[in-house]
Structure 1
Amino acid sequence: MKFISREFIRSIAPQLDLLNTIGGGVAQPKLRMNERPKGVVLHVAMPSVPAESFHVMLKDSKLTVYGEFRHAPESQLAAPLFVQTLDLPQNLDLAAINASHENGELRVVIPFKDPAESPAREIDIQPGS
């Protein structure tokens, strides 16, 4: 005898995760980073979180990805779902970061810098006093 159907469990699971998060728990996104020939791709998967709840911030060489819950889009009160901050290496072109959201996954693409743009240079050595 089945008391709870699979459809009910599938429909209630995202709400339970959200309630757990608001109650002090932590939502655990699946985060992975893949290096490609032209750059790096960061994947953040949270199927129950809509695209408008994700945010990507860049300050200096730190990339912060976070999600938040708002009861209504215009609400000033927000509950954090997750926060992940990454220190980015200097060989990435931070001015060309691109982010998209599809099928419950945030995708952040960061291309490598063109090595010709920052050629090596010799530094003059000043005599000591």
Structure 2
Amino acid sequence: MKLISREFIRTIAPQLDLLNTIGGGVAQPTLRVNQRPKGVVLHVAMPGVPAESFHVVLKDNHLTVYGEYRHGPEDQLAAPLFVQTLDLPQNLDLTAINATHEGGELRVAIPFRDAEANQPREIDTQPGS
């Protein structure tokens, strides 16, 4: 005799997670920042959270990554799952940020600015006529 069906568990689990989040609980993502030769890669792993629930927002030098829960795609009400804001250093090219979601993990790649462009250089002064 089955007391609880699998369909019931699939239906109620997201609602329980939502109630836990609203009630003060948090969903804890795994967050890693890896420095590579050409830039940095931010990895945010949150099993069970679909790609459309992740959001990446850049304002000035602040990168905010957040996830939200919506019971259905058309729902207007969303509950926050997590929010992480990072202050980005000046040596990153903020115009070339790339975000992908693959295998349950969000990856945000930010390349370094061209090293030569950031090096100080002396400008020759030409005599005026």
TM-score (norm 1): 0.79
Matched, 1:62 2:58: no
SS in 2 for 1:40: strand
Cα distance in 2, alignment partners of residues 33 and 25 from structure 1: 25
Cα distance in 2, alignment partners of residues 99 and 18 from structure 1: 26
Measure how far apart 1:70 and its partner are: 1.1
Measure how far apart 1:116 and its partner are: 2.2
Which amino acid is 2:101 matched to?
Answer: H
In structure 2, the gaps of 5 or more residues are 1-5, 123-129
After superposition, where does 1:45-84 map in structure 2 within 5 Å?
45-84=45-84
1:70-114 per-residue CA deviation (whole Å, 9 max, x = no partner) reads: 122222211000000000000000000000001110000000000
Q: Which runs of 4+ in 1 moved over 6 A?
A: none
Quote the sequence identity (%): 77
In structure 1, the gaps of 5 or more residues are 1-6, 123-129
Count of residue pairs the alignment pairs up: 118
After superposition, where does 1:1-129 map in structure 2 within 5 Å?
15=14, 16-121=16-121
Cα distance in 2, alignment partners of residues 35 and 24 from structure 1: 33
Say whether the 8 Å CA contact 2:93–2:110 is kept in structure 1. Answer: yes
Residue number in structure 2 paired with 1:127: none
